[in-house]
Every structure is written in C-alpha cells, then in structure tokens.
C-alpha cells in the first residue's frame, strides 16, 4: 500500500521514527498538500494548473527598491539631461523595456521543485536515508536541484540566489535573467553615452 504525504498531525509521529540501520532522526517539514509544494519563504502570487506561475522571494523589498532606482535614473536623464528628442524617445523606450524584463525576471517562477510521484508513493522514512532527499521539501533532488537556504525551497536547475531580483535564479527564469543582464548593460551604456554627449555639447 502506498504512503501519502503526511498531514500535520502525523508529522510528530514521523519525526519520532528511527531507521533500523542507524539512529538518525527523520525531520519532515509541513507541505502545502493542496498544491504539493513546499514554498518556504517564497510567496506565490499566481497559480496555473496547480503550478506556481508568479512568485516573490524573501528579498522582495530590495527588488522593489532596485526597480525604482533603475527606472528613476532613466526617466531623470531623459527629462533633465537629454535635449535631443530622438534620444529621449529611445531612452524612454529602453526604460520601459528594462522595467518589463526586470519585472518578468523577478516574478517568474524560478523552478520551485514539486513533490515527485516517487516521493508520494514510497515510504518517507525509507526515502529520508538517501543523501539527495530534502527533508524540508520532501523530494528526491536530482543533480541540478539545490535547496536555497535564503528562500528555504528547492529550486530545479539552481544557478544562484540573486538579491536584486529578490529570489533564486533557476531553470524557470534562467533565460529571463540573462536577458535582463543584457538589457541592463545596454540601458546603462546608452545612459552614459547620451549624458556625456549632452554635457560636452553644453
């Protein structure tokens, strides 16, 4: 008979279970049973087909401040420094593009790992003996999945935790992140070029 993910009332019983081969205690964290995800410190803003679509990480305040500063710099330069109408239009277009890419990267699900079928069907006491079993998320991690201590959640295709986006960068938002890096580089280079150009012309 297959065993299911334990209810909160069963967690204490599981925690007291000891392996026959060693005395290692099994510590399991509560899981959102409806969604089958351990979300940790991540706040899911939108679900689609019972999968997280948009989420905010624990560093959401730093993300918000970074977003405001980046947008403010472009707008201030466009209206206070630049005199050329064409340069203003290009810069404002870059401000909008940068903002959209930044928001997309910061809100997109980074690849929060779900409880695998194997984790749900097999005995959790048995699975907990494996080195790649995450006791908090209650999943068997593959070689690309890593548990982020900051977000307190397992991320598939984990690359790093980025405080500027407020969350981890993983399989879900990896391409979006490097698109963001590219657009940010173009954005700031253009800001510097037109600023120095207009200052030299004055």
Catalytic residue at 154? no
Per residue in 34-89, pLDDT (tens digit) is 457 778 888 888 888 778 878 888 988 999 999 999 999 999 988 888 888 888 89
| pLDDT over 70 (residue 31) | no
Q: Look at residue 170 in the predicted model and tell me its pLDDT.
A: 94
DSSP secondary structure, 122-148, as one string: S-HHHHTTSTTEETTTTEE--TT-EEE
- Are residues 161 and 148 in contact, defined by beta-carbon separation less than 8 angstroms? yes
Radius of gyration of the chain (CA): 23
Q: Look at residue 196 in the predicted model and tell me its pLDDT.
A: 84
Tokens representing residue 150 in the block:
């900051």
Q: Report the C-alpha gap between 55 and 32 in whole angstroms.
A: 15
- Are residues 152 and 40 in contact, defined by beta-carbon separation less than 8 angstroms? yes
| pLDDT over 50 (residue 168) | yes
pTM of the full predicted structure? Answer: 0.71
Helices (H), ranges, the chain: 8-15, 60-80, 85-107, 117-121, 124-127, 174-201
User: Catalytic: which of 148, 162, 168, 191?
Assistant: 162
Per residue in 82-114, pLDDT (tens digit) is 888 888 899 999 999 999 999 999 999 998 887
- Mark 16-48 as b/e (b = at least 16 C-beta within 10 Å): eeeeeeeeeebebeebeeebbbbbbbbebeeee
Arithmetic mean of pLDDT, 140-166: 90
Q: Report the C-alpha gap between 127 and 178 in whole angstroms.
A: 36
Arithmetic mean of pLDDT, 167-177: 94
Q: Look at residue 123 in the predicted model and tell me its pLDDT.
A: 58
| pLDDT over 80 (residue 154) | yes
Residues 6 or more apart whose Cβ sits within 8 Å of residue 55: 42, 43, 44, 45, 107, 108, 109, 110, 112, 167
- Are residues 155 and 145 in contact, defined by beta-carbon separation less than 8 angstroms? yes
Q: Look at residue 107 in the predicted model and tell me its pLDDT.
A: 92
């Amino acid at each position: 008979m297959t065993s299911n993910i334990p209810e909160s009332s069963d967690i204490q019983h599981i925690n007291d279970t000891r392996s026959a081969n060693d005395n290692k205690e099994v510590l399991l964290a509560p899981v959102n049973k409806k969604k089958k995800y351990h979300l940790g410190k991540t706040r899911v803003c939108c679900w689609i087909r019972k999968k997280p679509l948009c989420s905010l990480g624990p560093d959401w305040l730093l993300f918000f401040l970074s977003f405001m500063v980046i947008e403010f710099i472009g707008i201030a330069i466009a209206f206070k420094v630049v005199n050329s109408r064409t340069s203003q239009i290009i810069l404002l277009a870059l401000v909008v593009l940068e903002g959209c890419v930044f928001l997309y990267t910061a809100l997109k699900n980074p690849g929060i790992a779900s409880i695998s079928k194997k984790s749900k069907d097999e005995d959790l006491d048995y699975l907990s003996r494996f080195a790649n079993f995450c006791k908090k998320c209650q999943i068997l991690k593959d070689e690309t999945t890593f548990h982020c201590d900051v977000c307190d959640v397992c991320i598939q295709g984990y690359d790093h935790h980025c405080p500027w986006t407020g969350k981890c960068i993983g399989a879900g938002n990896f391409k979006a992140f490097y698109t963001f890096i590219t657009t940010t580089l173009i954005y700031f280079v253009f800001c510097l070029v037109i600023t120095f150009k207009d200052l030299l012309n004055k």
